[in-house]
Amino acid sequence: MKHQEIIEKMTVEEKAAFLSGKGEWDTRAIPRLGIPSIYCSDGPHGIRKQAGSGDHLGLNESLPSTCFPTAATIANSWDEKLGKEIGEALGEEAAALDVQVLLGPGLNIKRSPLCGRNFEYFSEDPYLAGKMAVSYIRGIQSKGVYACPKHFAVNSQELRRMAMNSVLDERTLREIYLTGFEIAVKEGGARAIMSSYNQVNGTYANENQHLLQDILRREWGFDGIVITDWGGSNDHVKGVQARSNLEMPTPGLDSARQIVAATTNGSLLMEDLNNCVDDLLDAVLVLNDKCKSGKVDLKEQDHHDLARRAAAESAVLLKNTENILPLKAGCKIAVIGDFAVEPRYQGAGSSMVKPTFMETIEKAVMNYNFNVIGLSRGYKRTGEADDSLRKEAIDIAGDADVVLYCFGLDEMSEVEGMDRIHMRLPQNQIELLQAIAQVNDKIVGVLSGGASIEIPWHICCKAILHGYLSGQAGAGAMLDILSGKINPSGRLAESYPVRYEDTPAFKYFPSTERNAEYRESIYVGYRYFDTCGVHVQYPFGFGLSYTEFSYSDLRIDEQGIRVLVTNTGDRDGAEVVQMYIGLPNAIVFRPAKELKGFSKVFLKSGESKDVHIPFDDKTFRYWNVKTDKWEVEKGTYQIMVGASVSDIRLVKELEVEGTTSEYPYNPANLPYYYTGIIQQISDQEFETLLGHSIPDGKWSGELGINDAVCQMYYAKSRLARFIYKILTDRKRKNEEKGKPDLNLLFQYNIPFRAIAKMTGGMVNMSMVYGIVDVVNGHFLHGMGKVIGGFFANIKSNRAYEKILSSGKGLKE
Ligand code: BGC
């Protein structure tokens, strides 16, 4: 132990209380021993430090900070150097605002395009997600602030996010859902990690020994702190046994009492408690030490400029027919779309930042050499039809050389706590686009949105520039590209299928009742489309440039590849060179291609560079479920280099010695996994893959403490069903208004037990059991527990506080 001396002085009560939050964002200090507290803040693309009282979804005002493009956006840059610069800026702002732990980056896998938080996550590919996360983590931590990659793990849906069980096989877990975290921990050196809300194969992530002990600590050598997601702890004693260090946000002293009781009755070893305290103490002491090294400025203008450069480097040019872009100087343009006036630049939820400054296309366009002949909002962002706006837009469109149409996903589509139900843009936006196309066929679509969408309307646009959610300086960045000042170099970090029905998890997402069954296994995103030859609108890795690049002279040795890339066009620009690996006729089923390396390279017109992409320990590996370790299959691998997963320019073969002596599967029992046609995997085949039967996820009978409020529709108590109805009505009305009410969504999805974790000691677990009794129709019995529990809780809280302030408690 690093801090044995301090730990020896601590009472058991102090140790137990130390392991949970004091307020919404901070930990408990122990002044008697000179132990200070640390302060955490969201979030991944800006600092959301609340000035007054904290509420974790950010309804209360937060202090201004730079709103960088979200992770889904920056992933399109494929630029680790840029990620590091953003990380450094985030670290500087965190330090300036006295924040010691920054709750990000988020690197869950974009399993389905519909996950409500996809805008906060990097990619459908774990390698790219991991590498980008590393760059943020290194940047943030270089400023003396801990990064806290989240949400560990398999947290790819929002529906009942706090109470659902992700069911998947070990290989899929390792290869798809953990690899990004592995890279973040091993290469990024993350000092903190946030456990996710959900269960993984029946055990809450925060108390999952396999995830937190076997993999995170033992295999990856993580020696930092594990922090629960807000309200995500189920049983803190089990959390401590799994070496989860900090329960957030405000469970009061109830969890601490449970820990003390568990050490007294022997169900929790003192050694486990001490280890957890030691990790957290180390973080608190190191972070407070770093804080002393002096205050830093917010550097508002520098960071705004960086946000702009980042948005420009990340925007993806999807289409550019007849080279309509870049726009000609002096051309007559009509600017149409509500997003030109009020941009969509970030998603809703805990990551929402109050920007220091906000650019809009409406204002920024005046700084460019265009003849702006008119501007119209064109459509209502809440989806209703508006004939006068539509007429106004069509009138100005008719007179323009080019129409800039600013549109995309609306606010309700990208919300923490709620998944989308389809992949389309709002119908009124598409109808207006089609109407404009009737009067002017020179339309340049400027898209906003942090997740994949269906684009059947692409034929209405001559060009499409996708800015994703481009942060506070996105408008200037888009105009820099449209005007040709900057050559676009973003490449998609996710696939754009033709229609939602084509996606691999279509049948399995979000979840049936309790279980989210990951039946598609390793075939996520392009791993499925590419293997099965499913045509997509825009493939993973795709993006156009105003110049062109040629690839030649591919050389391969044991260490990696070298390839000569030349800018053959007449403009300077950057290319993202991508390396994919495949093993035709593999004995262990696998996708046709997997990304195993990339490099972004800037080339002047006519310039060539020899690009080196190294192999690493992930290049040829697969997870063998028979031997329970990473193995390499022997064979002749294809090393493919290209500009997207569907645009492979050069291929060479490489003989690789394998490690496998025992093969994990019998192909006859997994026929569909062997073909990749996984949209309708039978129970039997899924069970073969899992290696056990599918757990029963049916809801029935009485509700338990882990069931969510939104399940009360089958509660025995009329009162509970009535409350459910009120909440559901309010949620529906709110959705119709088009402005997400985050707290309502949170309440809707919250499991009963989490009430005790987020009420600052007002509610304890025995009261929660009372509430559940009431919900199950045992009103008097339940109310008895709630009322009795309430008074008992106040008394125990006081008694515990007294012990804490006296410093006289149980000794080891
Ligand atoms: C989110 C986390 C966030 C935390 C604190 C949770 O609801 O899932 O990503 O860091 O709240 O705001």
For residue 54, name the pLDDT band (cuts at 50, 70, 90): low
**What is the per-residue pLDDT for 811?**
86
Distance of CA 456 to the CA centre of its chain: 27
Ligand 1 neighbourhood includes 229 CB (under 6 angstroms):
yes
Instruction: Mean pLDDT check: name the lowest of 56-65, 97-106, 308-317, 726-735.
Output: 56-65
Nearest protein CA to atom 9 of ligand 1, as residue? 350
580 pLDDT above the threshold of 60: yes
Contacts from 613-619 at CB under 8 Å and sequence distance 24+? 613/560, 613/561, 613/563, 613/577, 613/579, 613/641, 614/559, 614/560, 615/558, 615/559, 615/560, 615/561, 618/127, 618/179, 618/183, 619/581
**What is the per-residue pLDDT for 259?**
98
The percentage of residues in the chain with a pLDDT greater than 90, rounded to a whole number, is 90
Distance 229 CA to ligand 1 centre (A): 6
Burial of 31 (0-12, 13-18, 19+ CB in 10 A): exposed
Helix (H) or strand (E) holding 446: strand 443-448
Ligand 1 neighbourhood includes 228 CB (under 6 angstroms):
no
**What is the per-residue pLDDT for 207?**
97
Q: What is the mean pLDDT of residues 698-713?
A: 90
Distance 351 CA to ligand 1 centre (A): 8
Ligand 1 neighbourhood includes 15 CB (under 6 angstroms):
no
Q: What is the mean pLDDT of residues 88-92?
A: 96
Q: What is the mean pLDDT of residues 199-219?
A: 98
Helix (H) or strand (E) holding 336: strand 332-336
86 pLDDT above the threshold of 80: yes
**What is the per-residue pLDDT for 293?**
60
Burial of 542 (0-12, 13-18, 19+ CB in 10 A): buried
Dist. CA 415–CA 749, nearest whole Å: 13
Dist. CA 589–CA 158, nearest whole Å: 30
Nearest protein CA to atom 3 of ligand 1, as residue? 350
Q: Given the DSSP bridges, would you call strands 101-102 and 463-466 parallel, antiparallel or unpaired?
A: unpaired
45 pLDDT above the threshold of 90: yes
Which atom number of ligand 1 is nearest to the Cα of residue 43? Answer: 10
Ligand 1 neighbourhood includes 152 CB (under 6 angstroms):
no
For residue 597, name the pLDDT band (cuts at 50, 70, 90): very high
pLDDT digits (tens, 9 = 90+) for 118-143: 999 999 999 999 999 999 999 999 99
Nearest protein CA to atom 11 of ligand 1, as residue? 230
- DSSP label at 328? P
Q: What is the mean pLDDT of residues 167-188?
A: 98
Q: What is the mean pLDDT of residues 322-334?
A: 97
For residue 747, name the pLDDT band (cuts at 50, 70, 90): confident
Dist. CA 576–CA 311, nearest whole Å: 16
Ligand 1 neighbourhood includes 390 CB (under 6 angstroms):
no
Q: What is the mean pLDDT of residues 453-468?
A: 98
pTM: predicted TM-score of the whole model, two decimal places? 0.97
Helix 254-264 and helix 270-291: axis angle, to 10°? Answer: 140
Q: Which of 350, 352, 743 is the best mutation target for the ligand 1 pocket, counting ligand atoms within 8 Å of the beta carbon and taking the most? A: 350
Ligand 1 neighbourhood includes 594 CB (under 6 angstroms):
no
Q: Which residue shows structure tokens 């799994």? A: 242
pLDDT digits (tens, 9 = 90+) for 538-568: 999 999 999 999 999 999 999 999 999 999 9
Distance 703 CA to ligand 1 centre (A): 25
743 pLDDT above the threshold of 90: no
788 pLDDT above the threshold of 60: yes
Ligand 1 neighbourhood includes 230 CB (under 6 angstroms):
yes
Ligand 1 neighbourhood includes 56 CB (under 6 angstroms):
yes
Establish whether 282 is a catalytic residue. Answer: no
Q: Which residue has the higher pLDDT, 290 or 171?
A: 171
Dist. CA 348–CA 330, nearest whole Å: 38
Q: For residue 622, what are its two tokens?
A: 């697969």
Distance 179 CA to ligand 1 centre (A): 22
Distance 752 CA to ligand 1 centre (A): 18
Instruction: Mean pLDDT check: name the lowest of 47-56, 438-447, 511-520, 641-650.
Output: 47-56
Q: Say which residues have a Cβ less than 8 Å from residue 63's Cβ, sequence separation at least 6.
A: 47, 49, 50, 51, 97, 354
**Which of 709, 708, 672, 699 shows the shortest CA–CA distance to 688?**
672
Q: Which of 41, 56, 155 is the best mutation target for the ligand 1 pocket, counting ligand atoms within 8 Å of the beta carbon and taking the most? A: 56
Which atom number of ligand 1 is nearest to the Cα of residue 106? Answer: 9
For residue 281, name the pLDDT band (cuts at 50, 70, 90): very high
The DSSP result for 115-143, as a single string, is: -TTGGGB--S-HHHHHHHHHHHHHHHHTT
Distance 23 CA to ligand 1 centre (A): 14
Dist. CA 530–CA 122, nearest whole Å: 20
CA distances from 410 to 75, 420, 431, 432, 594 (A): 21, 11, 15, 15, 32
For residue 292, name the pLDDT band (cuts at 50, 70, 90): low
- First-to-last alpha carbon distance for the chain, in angstroms, is 15
Nearest protein CA to atom 7 of ligand 1, as residue? 230
**What is the per-residue pLDDT for 631?**
98
Q: Are the beta carbons of 177 and 209 closer than 8 angstroms?
A: no
**What is the per-residue pLDDT for 58?**
54
Report the mean per-residue pLDDT for the chain.
95
Distance 151 CA to ligand 1 centre (A): 9
Q: What is the mean pLDDT of residues 85-91?
A: 97
The percentage of residues in the chain with a pLDDT greater than 70, rounded to a whole number, is 98
Q: Give the active site residue among 125, 229, 480, 502.
A: 229
The DSSP result for 89-117, as a single string, is: HHHHHHHHTT--EE---B-----STT-TT
Ligand 1 neighbourhood includes 103 CB (under 6 angstroms):
yes
